[in-house]
Amino acid sequence: MHLFIAICMIWLSYRWGDWRNWQKYQPTMMYFAIGNLLYNYLCAERMLWTLTPDWFGDTCLTELMYTFIIFPATALLFLTNYPQGRMKIFFHYVQWVLIYGGVEYIFSLTGRIQYQYGWTLGWSIVFNVIMFPMLKLFSVRPLLAYGFSAVLTVFWMKLFHVSF
């Protein structure tokens, strides 16, 4: 299922991503990837969620696929198609939170994701409600986004008792 998601994201980003101007989106794509790497590093001893590998059976490869394919493609698609107007922007965020929440819900039903230490699908949705605005913020005010990211990282780590 994870491989299917990666293939879909490659196709979707190829089809609807602004590859002619990919350099404009590249810093945000890297910000998303680095965020996932940071989660895997900081929470290595206390993973709040873990992805269950598909047929190729390697957790590390699965995480690398998300880090370097799925999440950067998400950032590209999210920013490439960012609308104008408050209501359109609101629904753009809702669409992405629903997509990520829906995929994770399917993962939870099929055993492709495991939650530990109090993390739930509900917490993932809350995280996504914060994450997508952070992607946009990073694309326009990266230093401010780094500052908020540091504060949010400390908040999540304290909330879920992850050691520094």
Please count the structural domains in the chain.
1
In a domain, 20, yes or no: no
In a domain, 47, yes or no: yes
In a domain, 97, yes or no: yes
**Angstrom distance (rounded) from CA 58 to CA 66:** 13
In a domain, 18, yes or no: no
Q: Which residues contact 3 (CB under 8 A, 6 or more apart)?
A: 54, 55, 56, 65
Tens place of pLDDT per residue across the chain (164 aa): 999 999 999 999 999 999 999 999 999 999 999 999 999 999 999 999 999 998 777 889 999 999 999 999 999 999 999 999 999 999 999 999 999 999 999 999 999 999 999 999 999 999 999 999 999 999 999 999 999 999 999 999 999 999 98
For residue 116, what are the domain limits? 2-13+30-159
In a domain, 19, yes or no: no
Query: Does the pTM of the predicted model rise above 0.85?
Result: yes
**Angstrom distance (rounded) from CA 143 to CA 27:** 12
Helix or strand (DSSP H, E) at 49: strand 49-51
